[in-house]
Amino acid sequence: MNFPGKIVLARLFAACLLLVPATLHAAGGGPQDPSAKYSPLTQINRDTVTELELAWEYHTGEQMREGDFASFQDRPTLIEGNLVICSMDRRLIALDPATGEERWVYDHKAEQVFYRKCRGVSHWVDKTAAEGTHCRTRLILGTPDNRLVAIDAKDGKPCSEFGENGEVQVPTSKPLAQPAELMISANPAIVNDVIVVGSYVADNQRVNSPSGRVMAYHARTGEFMWQFDPIPRDPADPAMETWENGTEGIGAANVWADMAVDNDLDLVYLPTSSASVDFFGGDRPGDNDYSTSIVAVRGATGEVVWHHQLVHHNVFDYDLPAQPMLIDFPVDGKLVPALVQHTKMGLIFVFNRATGEPLVPIIERPVPQTGKVAEEVLSPTQPFPEGMPVLMPQGFSPDDAWGFTFIDRWNCEGKIEELNYGPIYTPPSEKGTVFSPANGGGPNWGSGGYDPDSKIMVVPSNRVPLIVKLVRKEGTEDSGTEHQSIETRGSMLFPNKGAPYQAEVSAPLSNFGAPCSEPPWAALTAVDMEKREIVWEVPLGDIRKFAPFGMEIELGTPGAGGPLVTAGGLVFIGYTLDDVFRAFDLKTGEVLWETDLPAAGTAVPVTYEVKGEQYVVIPAGGHSMYQSTMGDAVMAYKLKR
């Protein structure tokens, strides 16, 4: 669940490609893996970045509709000489990477649902086909109505040998209770010749929600190959021992974040989410493997090779939201092929990606049990990585209350006193529990960027807590209309059908409408992965759009998106609600360049080189959940001539 802005920013501040030149490195590990969001290009660097100017601007023509949950989250792809954009409505648009001129548009013609977003498109090369053969290089896209389509990367025409006329229908485990209850959300992963597809399953809707099973298809023919359900169904599966009441009727644990792959190991890495429902697990006692786990499965067969659960018996909506990062991790003077998993909790876990061995020790620590509802059986401990820095505050109390004025702080302190509060993993309660980190993070789907030379990893995170309250049902709430949520007096009420409680989520705000937590409300953090320490941290975003007279006060603004790290010593990132695109100095965190965008850049920037000139591109279309400026732009920058 990616939440905080919908509530927070409704009143907030009322008071006061990875892309390298034309050829992408194959996802087989190493610092060039796309998950590292790193580019070796250096034409744009610390010394030249101030000379950046707008090279071209493109508009998709897609606009917001009333009631839509929409965001332009794309990470553009340079392939076969085209810069391919995936729009909010998941149309694929091929542009001239040097001019932004439109070359072709692929429209999947699916009926549009209210949940509109695309985080990019995947590609596969058929090495058995001759050069120049149609669909030798193909783009793979998941549609809003759960089709998997394959089109030629050069001309955008369907690949006829894939499924039926270039598409395969991905089945759901049961009929959907509402449109978009389940849909393909992230990029399909491609490991060697196998397409692996995850899904979004609507949070907090019903206990018996659809299965979050992962499906695999052959990239050439579309033939079904295997499936993996993160909720075990086979009594012989060792994971069944962690489900004391069995798994019948339990759904979700889906993979909505981007996956990562290592072709050489034939492994695909699945960051799973919580089982249904997100804030109550009284009907699923036990640790609940493989939910909220990083699971490495064999690409050819779907066999589980290794896994680690990072949240036991998840009742916090602490899904694994970020694509695993495949890097070479420094251990005792040597570089070990590793997987780094960022979490909503701000904890960083590191594993040997071949064996699953933790490269940073993991210890089990006791966690709070106070305030839980009677039916709940919590895990007494949770895993914590030892020796890695934590990216954000863990837990919240009245002493942490903050305000622009003494009265503001006093007001917040009183509100927190009335709630259930404490360290991280303080459970949901009927009283209302302060979640810090919030269930939207911390880090989220944008993940981090990594420079293999300096060993510095840069990660954005949101810092605004939320309040989760369990509301006991009176007996009639499970009848009536299907809905995602009901907005009631500054909160969101979720139905949790089949559970004894509804879930109400709100933000701890002062009477003036400002967050009760100390700024920054979003931050960009640089971690030295060799020394395992934070080297700098800066607020991410300012409140110019909310403060009087447009004052650029750097308090950070909750947002979404990811960074791009370059060998030129730069970190490019949009993310913020001030509609600014920034370049930070990788060494110091200083802002070296910034420019206004027509809408929030809640996406992942990319860079590439064409005819000797380096470009930096970012989609700027905003994110409705954060009530940002919305738009339909793709912005490209290059150095002045």
Which H or E run contains 10?
helix 5-11
Q: Which of 89, 178, 19, 2 is nearest to 565 (CA)?
A: 19
Q: Is 317 a catalytic residue?
A: yes
Calpha distance 148→140 (Å, rounded) = 7
Which H or E run contains 296?
strand 293-298
The answer to whether 154 touches 80, Cβ cutoff 8 Å, is yes
Calpha distance 307→383 (Å, rounded) = 14
Q: Where are the beta strands (DSSP E) in 449-532?
A: 449-451, 456-462, 466-472, 486-488, 491-494, 501-506, 522-528
Which SS3 state, helix, strand or coil, does residue 364 take?
Answer: strand
Question: 18 Cβ partners below 8 Å, 6+ apart?
Answer: 24, 32, 34, 36, 37, 38, 39, 564, 606
Calpha distance 5→184 (Å, rounded) = 23
Q: What angle do CA 336, 341, 345 make, to 5 degrees?
A: 140
Neighbours of 573 (CB within 10 A): 30
Which SS3 state, helix, strand or coil, does residue 459 take?
Answer: strand
Q: Which two tokens stand for residue 96?
A: 């001239």
Q: Which two tokens stand for residue 323?
A: 């694509």
The answer to whether 433 touches 467, Cβ cutoff 8 Å, is yes
Neighbours of 348 (CB within 10 A): 24
Q: 194-197 and 189-191: which strand pairing?
A: antiparallel
Q: What angle do CA 555, 402, 602 make, to 5 degrees?
A: 35
The answer to whether 16 touches 404, Cβ cutoff 8 Å, is yes
Q: Which two tokens stand for residue 513?
A: 């409408």
Q: Which of 586, 588, 535, 594 is nearest to 564 (CA)?
A: 586
**Which is catalytic among the residues 89, 193, 317, 400?**
317
| Residue 500 amino acid letter | P
Name the residues annotated as catalytic: 317
